[in-house]
Amino acid sequence: MTAAGRRRLRLAFRDGAALAAFASVAISGEISGWAIAAFAVGGALALFDVRMLARVPLASGIAVTGAGALLSAKVALGGMDLVVAACTFAAAITLHRVLSSPNARVDHQVLLTSLLMISGGAALSGELLFAVMVALFATFACVTLALGVVEGALPAGADFPSAPLLRRAGVCVLIALGGGAALFVVLPRLSWNVGWHRLSRGLGGISGLAEGVHLGVGSGSIKTNPRVVARVQIAPDPRQPVLHAYWIARTYGTWTGREWSEERPAQPPSERVEIRPGSPHLVHQRVELLPAYGSRTAVALVDPVAFGNAIGFRDGLRVPRLRFSHLPGGEVRLVEVADGYAYHVYSADPALDRAPVGPSDLSDADRARYVALPPVDSRVGQLAADVLQGETDPLRAAQRLQTFLGARYRYTLELPDSPEDPLADFLFERKEGHCEYFATALAVMLRTQGFAARVATGFFGGERIGDAYVLRAGDAHAWTQIWVPGRGFVNVDATPEAGRASQASPFAAWLVRQYERVDGWWRSTVLEYSLGD
């Protein structure tokens, strides 16, 4: 390999190491957007060997110093976390060095400041991607250093066979990574707990649990998102690879003609919420809502009986003893704001619990609310009456309409622009839609015939990965609940079966499943590792 080629290779590895180190911090979600953008642009320029700061070393040095002063001031004023500021400053120095004239000394500076970023990433992030970035950094840094050491021993301009060197550097990487894992296991754990950071906000929330269900707004693209938003451990363990279960989050009783909503007056918060009296056959769930969930509404298998023992993770810190607020309509919401939550919940076992679970009938006010309708297209009531043929039993009526809708209407996520009356458009024009259309159509048709019904949202499914079931963003679902005297609200789902679970592409779902497996291993083996394990 020629001297020029060797130099390019070394710098590419060096800059790759810097980018990996920065990514290890950036995935924590704590670094500001401008810093990410600046590093991305600078890193790309460096990979193309554009060292734009080589001509203005003094001015750029002053600029970096100024950035350091600004960050210090921000920390002093309480506007920024010290670790985040330190990582940002390390990133600024790294970028400055990367875009400067390269030599052996600059290489060392880049790698050392990158190492500082890695350390910051360890303090700020708990993502599995952090491990990937650290492994990449270790690989690139080892190769860079090995190339630099040999290059320093070569006469200027001399050629050199790089293959043996790269092989030996590869061995170095393997020893470093393997040894790192071994040392990680055996290093004694002592904790002085002067201060710590852990668990990041990650890449933000996406689950799409909104305050209401809006027909004609959005295309339902959330159904194609395979990202995991919750993990649930269930006891007794169902031992099934896939749970075709309903996980309830919210219910909506008010239909305005375009959207479902629920008035939710504040309730006194408490650490434990009991929805209804206990039952001998309960299913225990430990639910972990990941930062990607993006909401404070607790989810549980239908029918939830009691929630409690909630903790949260906020700014990397564990927040114990969180409180719940029980809202009308059955929603249970966590009061304190956090990035992620974990709590315990008991639900009635649908297979064993046949006992009456609700009052014999609704109060007049509730009944009036669950049958109330705004002016709707007269064809809706007519269609419902035609299908029901005078059926008076609420559950059988609901099942008839469910069968009708499931058979005559098609599931799709490809929806045109919002029509004037989305429900009438769905029922009489387009005859295809996603779960919110099916749930709304069923609830409104039931109400037109005097049955009390409402729409529930949450998730449908549950895929077993490791010892837990995961819920994906694409498992978000809406269905109908019909009031059955003596049994309470019973789930009726008019959405065709194929459209209920996640609509993510099989490959994307497979990828996420593999990632989730490794991530589960990462959390149990690395993040929560102790010598006692």
Partner 1 sequence: MRPAIGLDASSGARWRRLRALLRPPRTLRITAAGRTYLVLTLGIGIAAVNTGNNLLYLVLGLMLSAIVASGLLSERCLREVRVRRIGSEAAFAGEPFAFRWAVINPRVAGFALTFSEVNPHLEGEGVLAYLPAGVETIVRGDLLSKRRGPHHLAGVRITTQFPLGLFAKSRFFPCEGTLLVFPRRVPGRPAAEGARDARDGTASSPDRAGGTGDVVSLVPLREDEDARRIHWLKSASLGQLVRLEREREERHTYVLRADAAAPAEVLDRQCEALAASAHALLAAGHEVGLDAGEVRLRPAAGPAQERRLLAALARVGYDG
Binding site for partner 1 (CB under 8 A): 108, 112, 115-116, 118-119, 121-123, 125-126, 130-131, 134, 138, 142, 145-146, 148-154, 158, 160-161, 164-165, 168-169, 171-172, 175-184, 187, 189-198, 526-529
| Shorter beta-carbon distance to partner 1: residue 187 or 266 | 187
Cβ partners under 8 Å of residue 346, min gap 6:
278, 282, 283, 284, 285, 304, 305, 306
CB nearer partner 1, residue 171 or residue 518: 171
Q: How many CB atoms lie within 10 A of CB 369?
A: 18
Taking the complex as a whole, how short is the minimal distance between the CB of residue 340 and partner 1, in angstroms?
17
Q: How many other C-beta atoms are found inside a 10 Å radius of the C-beta of residue 282?
A: 18
> What minimum distance in Å lies between the beta carbon of 489 and partner 1?
44
Shortest distance (Å) from residue 330 CB to partner 1:
39
Give me the least distance between CB of 464 and partner 1, in Å please. 26
Q: State how far the Cα of 495 lies from the Cα of 413, in Å rounded to an integer.
A: 12
Q: Is the dihedral of CA 208, 209, 210, 215 positive or negative?
A: positive
Q: Concatenate the DSSP letters of all residues of 146-214 into one string.
A: HHHHHHHHSPTT----HHHHHHHHHHHHHHHHHHHHHHHHHS------S-------TT-------SSEE
Please identify, using beta-carbon distances, which residue of 88 and 125 lies nearer to partner 1: 125
Given the complex with partner 1, which of 138 and 222 has the nearer CB atom? Answer: 138
Q: Compare residues 118 and 228 and give the one whose CB is closer to partner 1.
A: 118
Decide whether 118 or 322 has the Cβ nearer to partner 1. Answer: 118
Question: What is the spatial distance between Cα 141 and Cα 449, in angstroms, rounded to a whole number?
Answer: 71
Quote the Cα angle for 222-226-229, to 5°: 85
> In the complex, what is the shortest distance from the CB of residue 131 to partner 1, in angstroms, rounded to a whole number?
7
Q: Strands 410-411 and 432-433, how do they pair? A: parallel
Contact 176, 142 (CB under 8 A): yes
* Cβ at position 280, least distance to partner 1 in Å: 41
Q: Rounded to the nearest whole angstrom, what is the least distance from the CB of residue 192 to partner 1 in the complex?
A: 5
Measured CA to CA, the distance from residue 204 to residue 291 in angstroms comes to 6
Nearer to partner 1, 386 or 533 (CB): 533
- 3-class secondary structure, 277: coil
Identity of the residue, 33 or 195, whose beta carbon is nearer to partner 1 in the bound complex: 195
CA distances in angstroms from 528 to 131, 155, 391, 521, 522, listed in the order given: 14, 50, 57, 10, 9
Q: Between 194 and 365, name the residue whose CB sits nearer to partner 1.
A: 194
CB of 468 to partner 1, least distance (A): 20
Q: Please report how close the Cβ of residue 88 comes to partner 1 at its closest, in angstroms.
A: 18
| DSSP 8-state symbol, 126 | -
Is the Cβ–Cβ distance between 307 and 378 less than 8 Å?
no
